[in-house]
Structure formats: C-alpha cells, structure tokens
Amino acid sequence: MTTKHAEITNDLRTGIDQGKYAPGSTIPGVVVLMREYGVARETARAAIATLAHEGLVTPQRGVGTVVRDTTPVALGYKPNAPAQVWAQQAGANAKDETVEAGWEAADHEVAGRLEVPVDSQVIHLVRHYWKGLNVAQIRDQWLPEAIGTAIAQAGTDLSDTASKPEADLYTLMERAGYRPATVTETVVARMPDPSERDTMEVPAGVPVLITHRVTRDAENKPVETSTTVGCADRMSASFTVPLNR
C-alpha cells in the first residue's frame, strides 16, 4: 500500500497532467484535502510539498496552491554573440546591468581556466540579466591581465562599474588585438543555494543551469572565461556545432 500522502500526490499530479487543473489555477487546498481524504493537516501538506518540489505547483499564502506554467521559456543562447542576444531574446522588458567590476587575484579555478598563475591579476565582472522584475541570470566573467590592460589602453576601462562600454566585449577584444576564435561551454545543473534562490527568486522545485565558458583565440590561448548561473525555467542553452569527421 502506498502511503496516504503519496496517494494524494498521485491524484493531484494526474489531475495536473490531464489538464483538470490548468496552469495558473489552484489545486484543492489543505483543508479540502483533509476533509476529502480524511487525513491530518500535515499529511495533506506533505502531499502538496511533494508537488512543489517537483516544480509543478507553487503554494502561496492567502491565495492557494497555484499550478506552475511548466513550459520552458526557452531563451535560446548563442555563444557566437553572447552580449547582444539577451535583449533580443528575452523581450522588451529585459535589461542587463554590471553590478561589480574590478581587478582581483585569480583563484585556483579561474587561474586554471585562463591558464595564468594563481594570484595573478585578472579583471572580474559580475553582470545581472533581468527578465521583467526578476534577475534571470547572473554572470561572473574574468579576463587575463594582458587583455584587461590592452583594452584599457584602447580606451575602455572595464574595471569601472559605472562606465558603459560602447561595444560588446568581443569587439573590444578585437580592437585591442585579441581575436576570439572558439568558445567551449560546459553545462551542468543543480539545485540553487540559498543566496541564488534569494537574488533570483527561484521558486521551490526549480534547478539552476550553470554554464562554464572559456573563449580562446586562434592560438588556442584563453582570452576570457565566465560562469553563468540561471533559473532553469527562465533559460536554456543552445549550441550548433559543425561535425568534422
């Protein structure tokens, strides 16, 4: 025999699957489930909690337990033009903002990706990508010392949060004499930690997608690396790769 809360969960889940409870509407509340199934409050709540952690519903105090719209928003992501894509694809109410910029000492991870010595100076940029009222992605980006100074000498100080570069980063790199040739991206997923859940307002049951990127020039030397963390229900990553066989 399955447990009582599992029984209730299954009934509600099939109801959602079959469209009995549409996205945006509410499923039967705690008190209703208590009465209809003859269970205690915590048992009814346990059933709902399972659905919440599966990402199917979002309980809201004073409102009810709302069925999530599980359709992926599918913000396609093209590594070929990382900077501009956001505005095009996320729609009119999208914006992005540099919240942090400056020089810092490379830690082990960043130094390894950029193939520079640990503790050597690198430029670190943190950007927030907004979609409507939410931060949908957070990007941490690092550039090796040589490139940071070369871009500065070409007239753009990346270590200044307030300054608005008038061109995207790859263009700035080219002007400074570094031509990006390839990007390698590695995608993983996990549940958000509390700070991510906080700044991006990730609902329960929604994982984050993490993209680690390394951009290299024609000599295969790293010219940029970044880590992008995004709410998995507000982003997806897409790649087109030629096959050389």
Contact set with DNA (CB under 7 A):
3-6, 26, 29-32, 38-43, 45-46, 48, 59-65
Choice from 19, 24, 62, 242 touching its own copies (CB under 8 A): 242
We find the least distance from the C-beta atom of residue 51 to its own copies, in angstroms, to be: 10
What's 63's DSSP letter?
Answer: T
Measured CA to CA, the distance from residue 169 to residue 82 in angstroms comes to 9
Our measurement of the distance from residue 37's CA atom to the centroid of its chain's CA atoms, rounded to an integer in Å, reads: 39
Measured CA to CA, the distance from residue 153 to residue 210 in angstroms comes to 33
* Residue 74 binding target from its own copies, DNA, none, CB below 5 to 8 Å by type: its own copies
Measured CA to CA, the distance from residue 39 to residue 46 in angstroms comes to 11
What's 181's DSSP letter?
Answer: E
* Residue 59 binding target from DNA, its own copies, none, CB below 5 to 8 Å by type: DNA
Determine, following the binding rule CB under 8 A, whether residue 205 of this chain makes contact with its own copies: yes
Question: Scanning the structure block, which residue is given the tokens 């991510």?
Answer: 196
Pick 92 or 194: Cβ nearer its own copies: 194
Q: What are the structure tokens assigned to 16, written together?
A: 């959602």
Determine, following the binding rule CB under 8 A, whether residue 131 of this chain makes contact with its own copies: no
Pick 60 or 239: Cβ nearer its own copies: 239
Beta strands 134-144 and 121-131, pairing class: antiparallel
Determine, following the binding rule CB under 8 A, whether residue 182 of this chain makes contact with its own copies: yes
| Cα dihedral 224, 78, 82, 108 in deg (nearest 10) | -30
We find the least distance from the C-beta atom of residue 120 to its own copies, in angstroms, to be: 25
Determine, following the binding rule CB under 8 A, whether residue 146 of this chain makes contact with its own copies: no
What's 192's DSSP letter?
Answer: P
Residue numbers of the site for its own copies (CB under 8 A)? Answer: 13, 42, 53-55, 70, 72, 74, 76, 79-80, 170, 174, 180-191, 193-194, 204-209, 215, 232-233, 236-245
